[in-house]
Amino acid sequence: MDGVELHAEVTGTGDPLVILHGLFGSARNWGAIARALGETHRVHALDLRNHGSSPWTPTMSYAEMAADVARYIDDHGLEPSAVLGHSMGGKVAMLLALLHPHLVDRLLVVDIAPVAYVRTEFLTYLQAMQGLDLTTLGRRADIDAALAPAIPDPTLRAFLLQNLVNDGGTFHWRINLAGIAANLPDIIGFPTVEQQFAGPVTFLAGERSDYIRPRDRQAIDSLFPQTRLAEVGQSGHWPHAEQPQRFLALVRDALL
């Protein structure tokens, strides 16, 4: 099967559950959630291409990323698997289910819709990270301070800095910033698809997030007719990190 070979963090026992992280994330961001869900499932948290420990590629369309995940499921005999995706990973999960429905038992989509977005802040983050000369910055705190003018939110900077690697005293980025920047229009978009996924789908929206809006319901229902929408109270775009117990309760219910 086509696609690159993705790195995975695997834990737990039971039926397979594949977790796909969002933009600038990695499987490691999902460690605590994966371990909790590992009580009932064999959890495969994947690094998508250009992220974490997976290969770097010059292109990263959703069709390509869905093919990567399809290859992983096929190579590891996980068919059919429950698939949970957040943000960019949610779009990958949706396209995977639409193009390869035999691989997906059920779908859980976290705070994203199958629509194009206008998100100029992602380019700001990329330009700020690419603009640093890491050879002149000897401490993580120095890099954090250098990013602060462009990215004033300390929680967001801490999330982005999880992609920073210290290799023998020299820092470098674990993610392919140039590859992500070149493909940003595709990443904030969503391809046109004629197929539907007939299996059960749960959308989990952050109460304080604007990523799933009322007008998105038509696009969701047109592709996923068996959809249930639930809200994670007192959370924004990262409900799994902001309200992990509420998030886990909703995910466990959707996996029953």
Give the count of beta carbons closer than 10 Å to the beta carbon of residue 216: 17
pTM: 0.97
- What are the pLDDT digits (tens) for 178-225? 999 999 999 999 999 999 999 999 999 999 999 999 999 999 999 999
Kindly list the structural domains of the chain, giving each domain's residue range(s) and its CATH number in brackets, ordered by start: 8-117+190-255 (3.40.50.1820), 121-182 (no CATH)
What integer is the mean pLDDT of 82-93? Answer: 98
**Three-state secondary structure call for residue 198:** coil
* Extended strands (E) in the chain: 8-11, 15-20, 41-46, 81-86, 104-110, 164-167, 170-173, 201-206, 227-232
Contacts of 109 (CB under 8 A, 6+ apart): 84, 85, 90, 93, 94, 201, 202, 203, 204
DSSP per-residue letters across 238-251: -HHHHSHHHHHHHH
Check pLDDT > 90 for residue 168.
Answer: no
- What are the pLDDT digits (tens) for 113-129? 999 998 889 999 999 99
Residue 11: band (very low, low, confident or very high) from pLDDT cuts 50, 70, 90: very high
Q: Tokens representing 111?
A: 């705070």
Residue whose entry in the numeric block shows the structure tokens 């399809």: 70
Q: Are 159 and 24 in contact (CB under 8 A)?
A: yes
Check pLDDT > 90 for residue 169.
Answer: no
Mutual orientation of helices 88-99 and 62-75 as an angle, nearest 10°?
70
Check pLDDT > 80 for residue 95.
Answer: yes
